[in-house]
Amino acid sequence: MIKNEHYTLANGIKIPKVGYGTWQITDKSICIQGVLWALENGYRHIDTAAAYGNESFIAEAIMQSGLLRQELFITSKLPAEKKGYEIAKEEFYATLARLQTNYLDLYLIHAPKPWRNAGDIDYTPDNIASWRAMIDLYKEGKIKAIGVSNFSQKDIEALIEATGFTPHVNQIKVHIGHNNLETKTYCDQKEILVEAYCPLASGRIFQQTDLEKTAAKYGVSVAQLSIRWCLQFGTLPLPKSTHEQRIIENLNLDFTIKKEDMDILSKWQ
């Protein structure tokens, strides 16, 4: 069953094949309930970020779940606008405090540039400094794996060239109609696992009637088809929902899309 399957990162760390995404879940009670439903129904991989503003809610949900910390895989991210060696360390420890844990399974640089007012500034030196801090935290055992998010090949190569350390993960937007193939191919060559955020295209996937026909062929929903496509495309999907039945459905992925349909969906625009 998918809920019991893992990818193995380049450093040997196992990561559950599907994660529960928490982007835009900012209401405390809704976030706690969503995470609880996810955990109760077999998810063991929770993806968050300091920028999401819900790390403390996730900590509360985990505490209420009664699960042991070592049963879970928790990811968070360094805010895109927070760059530099000391800043990265300060932000990391603040995240640990909010999540009420003494280590992270995965920590990512959220983006190569700040989300707003980035201008034409070259943030490469700042990203390298942040990356050095994360490498040190990794070597200290505070993080089991480290990576990046929204990074292009050029951005990643700058980190590797400066430090000799290759990210374990690159979390990028991937969904049917947006396969991000160039970056995906590069990451595959470097043994960097691609995590697919927005595997349902922020809901836009449900507007595509052609996908409904393919989903019906397999007796599944459009969401299940889309998440399964991400898996067979070789990425780790992070679906988000705050509805219990959809949370359950999004992990019920024990079917296989035939090669001819994969080929069509992978070229779909």
d(CA 176, CA 218): 17
161 beta partners: none
pLDDT digits (tens, 9 = 90+) for 107-139: 999 999 999 887 889 999 999 999 999 999 999
Domains of the chain: which residue ranges?
A: 2-266
From the list 7, 20, 43, 52, the catalytic residue is: 52
Write the DSSP symbol of residue 175.
Answer: B
> Is the predicted pLDDT of residue 28 greater than 90, yes or no?
yes
Q: Specify the pLDDT at position 135.
A: 99
SS3 assignment, position 56: helix
Reply yes or no on whether 52 is catalytic: yes
d(CA 134, CA 243): 35
DSSP per-residue codes, 171-219? EEE-BTTB--HHHHHHHHHTTPEEEEE-TTGGGGGGG-HHHHHHHHHHT
CA distances (Å), 135 to each of 72, 141, 211, in order? Answer: 22, 10, 42
Q: What are the residue ranges of helices labelled H in 4-70?
A: 28-40, 55-65
pLDDT digits (tens, 9 = 90+) for 186-217: 999 999 999 999 999 877 777 777 899 999 99
**Nearest to residue 77, comparing CAs of 167, 163, 148, 136?**
148
- For residues 160-173, give the mean pLDDT: 98
- For residues 218-224, give the mean pLDDT: 96
Report if pTM > 0.95. Answer: yes
Return the CATH fold of 2-266.
TIM Barrel (3.20.20)
pLDDT digits (tens, 9 = 90+) for 40-61: 999 999 999 999 999 999 999 9
